[in-house]
């Protein structure tokens, strides 16, 4: 079964995404901080991470090289409330991010992106 790690400090977003993707056949886990995300990656070995940029302990951008060092093949989709943050988008792409989704987003469009990235 494909596994998704949802990393976002907004509990409601994690809950909604977790329930949605579980209903669509994915095994999901949530982390609310960067450190929780790193611990979950070691333990759960996700295939894909939905990663918020604005975490309380470390930014998602700063977390990217740590994640890639743990598993260079892991798929990462950035989820951000900042649509015009060209600097972070560029940094994320340079560090191997597979896609960048802006909040608010539709669950069906996010599911399509996740499905496509899992199929790559």
Could you tell me how far CA 18 lies from the centroid of its own chain?
12
Where is 34: in which H helix or E strand? helix 34-44
Task: Indicate the fold that domain 3-119 takes in CATH.
Answer: Rossmann fold (3.40.50)
Whether the pLDDT of residue 88 is over 80: the answer is: no
Average pLDDT over residues 90-118: 88
pLDDT tens digits along 63-81: 999 999 999 999 999 998 7
What are the residues facing 102 on neighbouring strands?
80
Whether the pLDDT of residue 104 is over 70: the answer is: yes
Average pLDDT over residues 94-104: 86
pLDDT tens digits along 18-66: 999 999 999 999 999 999 999 999 999 999 999 998 899 999 999 999 9
Contact of 7 with 76, CB cutoff 8 Å: no
- The confidence band for 10, taking pLDDT boundaries of 50, 70 and 90, is very high
* pLDDT attached to residue 82: 67
């Amino acid at each position: 079964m494909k596994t998704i790690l949802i990393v976002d400090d907004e509990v409601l977003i994690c809950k909604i995404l977790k329930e949605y993707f579980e209903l669509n056949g994915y095994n999901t886990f949530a982390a609310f901080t960067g450190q929780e995300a790193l611990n979950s990656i070691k333990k759960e070995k996700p295939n894909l991470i939905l990663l918020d940029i604005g975490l309380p302990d470390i930014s998602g951008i700063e977390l990217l090289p740590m994640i890639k060092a743990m598993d260079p093949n892991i798929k990462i989709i950035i989820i951000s409330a900042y649509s015009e943050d060209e600097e972070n988008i560029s940094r994320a792409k340079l560090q191997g991010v597979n896609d960048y989704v802006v909040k608010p987003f539709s669950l069906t469009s996010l599911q399509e992106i996740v499905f496509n990235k899992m199929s790559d």
